[in-house]
Amino acid sequence: MAQYSIVGGWIDQAERCSCPNFGERPNPQDISLLVIHNISLPPGEYGGGWIDRFFANKLDPAAHPYFSDIANLQVSSHLLIERTGVIKQFVNLEQRAWHAGRSEFNGREECNDFSIGIELEGTDDTPYTDAQYQTLIAVTQAILTCYPAIDKSRILGHSDIAPGRKTDPGPSFDWSRYKIAL
């Protein structure tokens, strides 16, 4: 399994991708939550670079009917792990990515302020790949080393911090496999 290190908020082996959707954290020392998401564009389809374009605000609304509803949204995630296990980084971990939206954890709102977001290319109902789990486990280990306020109890799904609004990473995500491997 690959090992990753974090230098200056960047994962050493991640492909860096352009993304304007981020800001400063209110307290840069308060990185204390890891949020697991899923995304596929169009829904249920993989590859094609649509996620990269979406996070870069360059999604063509005419390229697919679904895109017309989301092309003007400004969202991001720190990391994306593709089906192949390739990891892409859109936002420096020290910055505030726009991945959680309206959210709450332990009585604190605005989880973007203190969390790192990882998107897995997938859907709630499609099993994630072995390559994705391998990359997710390795990158999570690097995050746990670099940000000691995050422990296993502070690794949650988007559905946990935005219940009723979000369902990802969904029932297809194997939490036991992931957390035992950490």
Which residues have a catalytic role annotated?
119
Give the C-alpha distances (Å, rounded to integers) separating 169 from 16, 85, 126, 151: 23, 16, 10, 19
- Give CA–CA dist 159/177, Å, rounded: 18
- Give CA–CA dist 168/12, Å, rounded: 27
DSSP string, 13-68: TSEE-----EE--SSTT---EEEEEEE-SSTT---TTHHHHHHTT---TTSSTTHH
